[in-house]
Amino acid sequence: MKPYALLAALLLLLFGCENKTVVISGNTAQEAINFQKGGVRCSECQMVIEDYPYTAQLVTPEGKTYFFSDVGSFVKWQQGKDFKGNEKVWVWALDTKRWINAKAAFYTTNEITPMEYGFGAYENQTETMIDFDTMKMKMLRGENLTNPAYRKKVLGE
């Protein structure tokens, strides 16, 4: 993460996050929630989520909904959780502007996302997109835009 992004995240954490929701209970239907923009925080980085693009939601079998500012953040946060595999994950589709099942989505790897991982979710596939499992593998291997070598390869920076 670039220094200014880290500073911004820290400032948001220190100022204005105290009354923001991190998790919502009672979603036993495991549906996506149209949360209030600016009213929830990312469960991974605690950043206030100001808009839907690039976000994800994870709903546990018990109905707890966790919010993420970046698709990569949910992958990172999910590791080591005991409900892994039984949860429902929703992502905001950039092309259709609605919540879709993350496992059915297609992902780009070169987006400028809030935490700079680079994964954008889409409902409709194009030739250069990857599937859910490949996206997760790339995230966990460090093949995302936070890795300077990978960033240079993908974006030419």
pTM listed for this prediction: 0.85
- Sign, CA torsion 125/138/31/36: negative
Q: For the chain, how many structural domains are there in total?
A: 1
Q: What SS3 state is found at 54? A: coil
pLDDT in tens, 104-150: 999 999 999 999 999 999 999 999 999 999 999 999 999 999 999 99
Q: Which range marks the domain in which residue 73 is found?
A: 3-155
Which of the four pLDDT bands, split at 50, 70 and 90, describes residue 19?
low
Of 143 and 6, the one with more pLDDT = 143
Mean pLDDT of the chain: 89
Taking only Cα atoms into account, the Rg of the chain, rounded to an integer number of angstroms, comes to 15
Those residues whose C-beta lies under 8 Å from the C-beta of residue 71, and which sit 6 or more positions away, are 54, 55, 56, 91, 102, 107, 113, 117, 119, 120, 121, 135
